[in-house]
């Protein structure tokens, strides 16, 4: 055992992959520190951890602490030992000979070396085929904003494999504590993209994480734990991390929002994207801070290019009016049906029709991207017909219920009259009886 004191210090100072991992890291560090402390006393008496492997591998014999650090990583489970990444000759037990020139020893790698180091296995179909893991990460990385900057400009501040995955503690990407697991990923990017000083140098904003967290996507991720929602890597690519260029943005959003994309392509704006005058979705929705979209967006966004006096604005207003009235009509009808049910009116059929109207309304959401008055109008009319029909029926039922109530009035009056008549008759009979008894006695 070497470097024990140094290692203990190092372990207690572990750099974190993500904040989410902090607690588990600390408790792991504490356990390891405990083990090391025990080792400190027993080193002369018991062989160090990883003894079996240490027999054959000199790296591990001298660096048992690092081997311990790798325990639990996906690589150590595959017996991927130090020299596979750092080079050197593990058959030599002498430190100098183990790291002599010609052994391929690289020491602590710089970032460019790290990409190649991970790539020697991960870009090799031969190695990875057995595990069924794709082999395009290095090739894609080289096309990314990060990779280009690193390889062409030797800029070490960009992200390389180990910045996103860790290095000695790499775990499966589907493990919930992995730094690239959807719930942890935005924070992993934010280690650098939230660094004001660093981002200023490149002219990038440093509040993307905050903006994203408040967006409809971020909220779905953090509040609903919806892992399928857009995150940094789903839009930018995991390895080909390029800002989606103007012509690529629809591909990104369109992967998930298929119908919106389909109708957008039939809209008058579609051809404008070819000349870069319009960027598919983000011209209207933005990107990091995308919010829930409603008809109000028409008032905010169209006016930027179609001023209120223009001919196109008439079309804009027409579509917006349809969307707004449609929403309001459905709400109104829903309330009417609810109220009717409370009044004791039988509304099962109307509730079923309402469901149908709601399906059409859901259809209009994506469909309105076509920006064609007659096509949107067709569906709008269906909603209008159904809701008008429901309203008519409910009002009719309410009236007939009222009529039935009115029809009862004569009956009540008749009963009342009968009661009064009987009462009078009774009084009369009683009077006569009293009179008869009086005359008898008299
Ligand atoms: C005889 C013991 C011994 C052997 C065998 C050994 N190392 Fe080391 N290694 C050391 C010592 C001592 C240091 C220096 C520690 C320090 O300065 O903090 C070191 C440092 C390192 C470093 C840090 C960078 C550097 O060069 O200072 C790496 C990486 C490393 N060794 C990897 C390996 C690998 C890979 C092997 C197997 C091929 C290996 N070591 C074999 C003892 C050994
Ligand atoms: C999967 C590849 C991989 C394996 C296996 C691996 N290392 Fe590393 N190691 C790295 C990378 C990458 C870095 C550099 C990380 C950085 O600086 O960002 C590193 C850094 C180091 C350092 C510098 C100090 C530190 O912690 O950053 C030492 C020492 C070291 N490794 C020793 C070892 C030893 C000893 C083993 C075997 C027990 C080992 N490594 C196994 C990839 C690996
Ligand atoms: C900017 C961050 C980032 C960098 C840099 C990065 N990765 Fe990844 N990597 C990810 C993300 C995110 C995923 C998860 C993809 C998913 O969940 O489907 C991933 C997934 C993987 C996987 C699992 C298989 C796959 O492709 O989905 C491997 C293997 C991998 N990366 C290796 C590498 C290697 C090797 C490098 C360096 C050449 C690298 N990564 C660089 C973020 C990164
Ligand atoms: C010696 C070959 C080798 C090297 C070098 C290597 N890996 Fe791996 N890596 C593997 C193998 C093999 C697996 C698959 C293990 C399994 O599936 O059980 C793997 C798995 C992974 C996974 C998990 C993939 C998944 O499907 O979840 C990631 C992430 C990963 N490696 C990243 C890296 C990074 C980052 C580096 C460089 C620091 C690196 N690897 C270096 C061989 C290597
Ligand atoms: C180790 C720090 C680091 C990490 C981690 C990191 N980045 Fe970066 N990234 C940078 C730096 C520095 C730049 C600036 C390079 C430039 O502009 O040329 C950059 C540039 C970018 C760009 C290009 C911006 C542009 O317009 O040129 C995108 C997109 C990007 N990163 C996305 C991500 C995503 C997504 C993640 C997480 C999966 C991530 N980054 C993780 C450091 C990092
Ligand atoms: C819904 C998709 C989406 C998500 C999620 C997303 N981005 Fe972006 N990002 C974009 C688009 C679109 C652009 C603008 C590209 C353009 O203008 O060409 C962009 C631009 C950027 C830029 C360049 C600077 C800028 O603001 O123009 C960086 C850096 C960046 N994103 C990083 C991130 C990080 C980090 C995350 C996660 C916290 C993230 N992005 C999440 C779509 C997304
Ligand atoms: C010309 C501006 C504009 C463009 C371009 C645009 N949208 Fe929309 N989008 C809107 C408006 C306005 C709404 C709200 C409509 C409503 O009230 O139902 C909306 C609604 C949405 C909704 C919610 C709709 C629903 O189904 O309820 C999604 C998702 C959406 N857009 C995605 C996209 C995607 C993806 C693209 C790119 C292919 C895109 N949008 C392009 C203006 C636009
Ligand atoms: C990985 C899949 C994915 C990608 C990529 C994606 N989204 Fe989304 N988006 C979703 C999901 C899932 C929701 C629903 C979130 C929720 O539950 O609230 C959503 C919600 C939305 C909404 C709100 C819909 C509403 O009901 O008001 C809009 C607008 C939107 N996305 C636009 C975009 C745009 C624009 C892009 C590209 C810049 C994009 N999305 C990229 C999956 C994605
Ligand atoms: C970034 C600027 C921009 C924004 C924002 C924008 N448009 Fe446009 N739109 C254009 C341009 C440019 C044209 C083509 C003008 C022409 O052909 O004269 C166009 C054409 C149209 C047309 C076709 C008119 C015709 O007769 O061919 C309609 C309809 C339209 N836009 C509706 C909308 C609506 C609705 C919104 C908001 C939801 C909107 N636009 C937002 C730039 C924009």
CA 117 → CA 3, 161, 167, distances in Å? 25, 10, 11
The CA 326 to ligand 9 mean position distance, Å, reads 22
- CA–CA separation, 385 vs 362, rounded Å? 16
Domain segments of the chain: what residues?
111-205+212-241, 244-291, 311-403
- Give the ligand 9 atom nearest the CA of 372: 29
Radius of gyration of the chain (CA): 38
State how far the Cα of 128 lies from the Cα of 138, in Å rounded to an integer. 13
Nearest C-alpha to atom 3 of ligand 6 is from which residue? 235
- Confidence band of 240 (pLDDT split at 50, 70, 90): confident
In whole angstroms, how far apart are CA 407 and each of 29, 305, 340, 344, 419? 85, 62, 20, 18, 20
Residue nearest to atom 37 of ligand 2 (CA): 82
pLDDT of residue 407: 85
Atom of ligand 1 nearest to the CA of 92: 5
Of 132 and 47, more confident? 132
Residues with CB under 6 A from ligand 2: 59-60, 63, 66-67, 70, 75, 80-82, 84-86, 108-109, 114, 162, 167-168
Per-residue pLDDT at 257 exceeds 60:
yes
- What is the 160 CA–ligand 6 centroid distance (Å)? 18
Instruction: Report pLDDT for 3.
Output: 37
**Minimum-distance ligand 8 atom for the alpha carbon of 292:** 27
Indicate if the pLDDT at residue 289 is higher than 90: yes
Ligand 6 atom showing the smallest separation from residue 189 Cα: 35
Give the pLDDT mean for 51-58. 62
Torsion angle of the four alpha carbons 178, 179, 183, 187, in this order, in degrees rounded to the nearest 10: 170
In which band, very low, low, confident or very high, does the pLDDT at 270 lie, cut at 50, 70 and 90?
Answer: very high
Other CB atoms within 10 A of residue 388 CB: 12
**Euclidean distance between CA atoms 380 and 323, whole angstroms:** 8
Q: Reply yes or no on whether the pLDDT at 43 is more than 70.
A: no
Nearest CA to ligand 7 atom 19: 293
Q: How far is CA 12 from CA 37, 70, 112, in A?
A: 13, 16, 28
Q: Tell whether the model's pLDDT for residue 97 goes beyond 60.
A: yes
Checking if the pLDDT of 37 tops 50, the result is no
CA–centroid distance, residue 175 to ligand 4 (Å): 14
For residues 337-350, average pLDDT: 93
Interior CA angle at 155 toward 186 and 105, to 5°? 100
Please tell me if the CB atom of residue 39 comes closer than 6 angstroms to any atom of ligand 9.
no
Dihedral (Cα; 275, 277, 281, 284), 10-degree rounding: -170
* C-alpha of 305 from chain center: 31
For residue 148, the CA-to-ligand 3 centroid distance in Å is 16
Beta-carbon contacts of 297 under 8 Å, excluding residues fewer than 6 positions away, are 284, 285
Measured distance CA(213)–CA(219) in Å, rounded: 6
The token pair at 43 is 């080193």
Ligand nearest to the CA of 160: 3
264: exposed, middle or buried (C-beta count within 10 Å: 0-12, 13-18, 19+)?
buried
> Which residues, including other chains, have CB under 8 Å from residue 372's CB and lie 6 or more apart?
266, 267
Q: How far is the CA of 379 from the centre of ligand 3 (A)?
A: 44
Cβ–ligand 4 distance for 247 under 6 Å, the answer no
Please say if the pLDDT value at position 169 is more than 90: yes
118 CA: nearest ligand 3 atom: 35
287 lines ligand 8 (CB under 6 A): yes
Give the tens place of pLDDT for each residue, 126-160: 999 999 999 999 999 999 999 999 999 999 999 99
Nearest CA to ligand 7 atom 5: 281
The alpha carbon of residue 157 and the mean position of all alpha carbons in its chain are separated, in whole angstroms, by 28
In this model, does residue 5 exceed pLDDT 60?
A: no
pLDDT at 250: 79
Q: What is the pTM assigned to this prediction?
A: 0.87
The lowest-confidence range among 45-54, 241-250, 367-376 is 45-54
Exposed, middle or buried: residue 341 (CB in 10 Å: 0-12, 13-18, 19+)? middle
Indicate the pLDDT class of residue 410, thresholds 50, 70 and 90: confident
Calculate how far, in angstroms, residue 95's C-alpha sits from the geometric centre of ligand 1.
Answer: 7
Please indicate whether residue 440 or residue 302 has the higher confidence score (pLDDT): 302
């Amino acid at each position: 055992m070497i470097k024990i004191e140094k290692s203990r210090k190092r372990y207690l100072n572990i750099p974190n992959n993500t904040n989410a991992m902090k607690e588990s890291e600390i408790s792991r560090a504490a356990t390891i520190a405990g083990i090391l402390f025990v080792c400190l006393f027993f080193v002369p008496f018991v062989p160090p951890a990883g003894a079996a492997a240490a027999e054959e591998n000199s790296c591990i014999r001298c660096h048992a602490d690092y081997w311990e650090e790798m325990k639990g990583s996906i690589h150590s489970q595959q017996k991927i030992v130090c020299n596979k990444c750092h080079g050197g000759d593990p058959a030599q037990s002498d430190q100098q000979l183990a790291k002599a020139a010609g052994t391929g020893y690289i020491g602590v790698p710089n970032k460019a070396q790290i990409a190649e180091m991970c790539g020697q296995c991960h870009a090799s179909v031969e190695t990875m085929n057995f595990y069924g893991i794709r082999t395009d990460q290095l090739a894609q990385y080289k096309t990314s904003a990060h990779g280009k900057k690193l390889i062409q400009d030797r800029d070490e501040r960009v992200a390389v494999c180990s910045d996103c995955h860790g290095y000695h503690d790499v775990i499966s990407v589907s493990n919930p504590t992995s730094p690239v697991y959807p719930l942890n990923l935005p924070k992993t990017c934010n280690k650098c993209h939230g660094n004001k000083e660093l981002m200023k140098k490149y002219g990038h904003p440093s509040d993307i994480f905050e903006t994203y967290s408040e967006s409809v996507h971020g909220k779905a991720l953090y509040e609903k734990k919806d892992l399928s929602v857009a995150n940094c890597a789903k839009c930018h690519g995991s390895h080909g991390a390029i800002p989606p260029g103007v012509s690529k943005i629809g591909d990104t959003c369109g992967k998930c929002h298929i119908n919106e994309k389909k109708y957008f392509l039939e809209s008058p704006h579609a051809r404008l994207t070819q000349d870069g005058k319009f960027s598919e979705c983000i011209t209207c929705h933005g990107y990091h801070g995308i919010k829930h979209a409603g008809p109000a967006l028409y008032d905010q966004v169209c006016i930027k290019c179609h001023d209120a006096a223009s001919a196109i604005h008439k079309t804009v207003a027409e579509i917006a009016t349809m969307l707004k009235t449609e929403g309001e009509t459905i709400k109104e009808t829903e309330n009417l049906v609810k109220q009717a049910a409370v009044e004791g009116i039988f509304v099962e059929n109307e509730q079923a029709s309402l469901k149908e109207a709601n399906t059409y309304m859901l259809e209009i959401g994506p469909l309105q991207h076509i920006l064609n008055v007659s096509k949107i109008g067709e569906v709008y009319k269906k909603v209008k017909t159904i809701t008008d029909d429901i309203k008519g029926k409910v009002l009719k039922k309410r009236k007939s219920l009222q009529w039935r109530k009115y029809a009862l009035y004569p009956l009540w009056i008749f009963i009342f009259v009968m009661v009064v008549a009987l009462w009078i008759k009774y009084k009369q009979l009683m009077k006569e009886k009293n009179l008869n008894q009086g005359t008898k006695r008299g």
